[in-house]
Amino acid sequence: MKKTDDIDLFLTLHEHGWSTCWIYANNKTIELTISHVFGDPYVDFITSLNQLIDKHNETSFIWYGEPGGEKIEIKRIRDRQHMLTVKVDGFCESFGDPIKNYETTITFEIKEKQLITIAYFQLKKIEALLKEKSFAVDRKSDFPFEHFLKFENKVKNYLS
């Protein structure tokens, strides 16, 4: 696996219960289409990020599309505790069906602080945009403001 700091994540909240996450790593960009119908993907993301801040060795969450989705696994590297391995595995099954096969879309290493910082600012961007009335129409109910504010306080302490 090539070691690089050239990693980024772009998260956007669309209208009517959809989001998109683009991940740039290993000189490759992947697009994840996320449905908000089956749960709260931002709460799942924030929960995993909180677990990393709390020094859990691994965390994972699933972002469903319609159909299919991605399982995102994040594991701390044992001999380099400040580093994480992120693996995104796609699947084709619909929500509620047993997932039989995963296909790895991308795997990369990233510094924990880099991932937390990038993720925080993407979520902060969405929170700030939702203050604009016209942007918030058909989106506001898809962002977990209470969870985000608790996460924000935790991140500020973590980064200071």
pLDDT 10s digits, 33-82: 999 999 999 999 999 999 999 999 999 999 999 899 999 999 999 999 99
pLDDT at 5: 79
Report whether 87 contacts 101 (CB < 8 A).
no
pTM: 0.95
Report whether 21 contacts 32 (CB < 8 A).
yes
pLDDT at 32: 98
Domain 8-159 fold? Secreted effector protein pipB2 fold (3.30.2450)
Report whether 19 contacts 95 (CB < 8 A).
no
C-alpha span between 126 and 14 (Å, rounded): 10
The single residue listed with the structure tokens 């991140």 is 155
The domains of the chain are located at 8-159
Q: How far is CA 30 from CA 9, 101, 106, 132, in A?
A: 10, 19, 8, 29
- DSSP alpha helix (H) spans, the chain: 41-53, 112-129, 133-136, 145-159
Rounded to an integer, the average pLDDT of 81-107 is 96
